[in-house]
Amino acid sequence: MGMSNSSVQEDFILVGFSDQPKLESILFIIVLVSYLLTLLGNTIIILISSIDLKLKTPMYFFLTHLSLVDICFTTSVVPQLLWNLGGPAKTITSLGCAVQLYVSLALGSTECVLLAVMAFDRHAAVCRPLRYVAVMNPQLCRTLAGLSWLSGAGNALIQGTVTLCLPRCGHQWLQHFFCEVPSMIKLACVDIRANEVQLFVASLILLLLPLALILTSYGQIANAVMRIKSSQAWHRALGTCGPHLMVVSLFYGSITAIYIQPNSSYTRTHGKFISLFYTVMTPALNPLIYTLRNKEVKGALGRLFHRDLGVNK
């Protein structure tokens, strides 16, 4: 009996949205549908990018990585969230919380860097079309993708370890629906100002630096297109860059609100809904954004579908 009590004491209680029980059942359906869409949409992108020869380009190479990040990122959060939304139990074990903290932080950070890499790719496509294949060669693409994953893992290792090492003096009630650094450091029973500064600096490096690179890339793209003064060029540039810009706006708009000001003016509820948006909604929307107005992806899906029909016949 003593053992079970001590193990329960080690658990964290994810308060989540438990103060609004009617909302929980609605959220359960929204989160479940979004998660299924995330798995389906991103798996399709990975599948057609690896099968279809016409999609063997740097853009789809990075898009495959983005889809893989999104699947893993949302999977690190959603199953536990659904479990907590679906029943009275709101607990997560200390090991489960640590794993969730490391994995979600690593993948969220990877996505930040990967989106900057994708902006560099779009910049090369629009501003240096004749040298695009030489600039974005397979070796550089693999290196940039690898750096994205490594920077995410490195950030998670540092930030996650520092956060988990803070003394909590028995505090277990986490005012969130998953184990995330800004809410975790609030459980500490010591002065956390140094941790908030460290979190702010890490956020500047992994959030605002990639964002600055993205904005610089798009500034140069806009400049290059304006010099051409052709509506067709504008149309092509918008088709090339529009989906990525939309994905960047959704992801960065929500994640910076949480990480740049962890002790912010946002109420607890607002913070939870913003986190819900970038952990659950954005991964579901990304495949839709990339495929709805994309002729290449639609063509690849059509070819895949016809090939399957041919095999069945």
φ, ψ for residue 192 (rounded to 5)? Answer: -105, 15
Lowest-confidence segment of 85-94, 110-119, 167-176, 288-297 by average pLDDT: 288-297
Whether 216 shows a pLDDT value over 80: the answer reads yes
User: By the 8 A CB rule, do 43 and 64 touch?
Assistant: no
Stated length of the chain: 313
- Tokens describing residue 105: 């932080």
- Backbone torsion region of residue 290, taken as left when φ is above 0, otherwise alpha when ψ lies between -120 and 50, otherwise beta: alpha
Q: Which residues pair with 91 in a beta bridge?
A: 13
What's the rounded Cα separation, in Å, for the pair 72 and 76?
Answer: 6
Domains by residue range for the chain, with CATH: 2-300 (1.20.1070.10)
pLDDT value of residue 265: 44
Report pLDDT for 237: 74
Give how far Cα 227 sits from Cα of 221, 237, 245, Å. Answer: 10, 13, 21
pLDDT-derived band at 69 (thresholds 50, 70, 90) equals very high
Q: What is the pLDDT of residue 293?
A: 63
Binned at pLDDT 50, 70 and 90, residue 72 comes out as very high
The residue with greater pLDDT, 256 or 25, is: 25
* Comparison of pLDDT for 41 and 204, the residue scoring more: 41
Nearest-CA neighbor of 156 among 210, 96, 102, 98? Answer: 102
Model pLDDT, residue 208? 86
- pLDDT tens digit sequence for 237-289: 777 788 888 899 989 888 887 777 655 544 566 778 888 998 999 999 998 88
Nearest Cα neighbor of 106 from 150, 145, 161, 48 is 150
Residue 141's pLDDT is 95
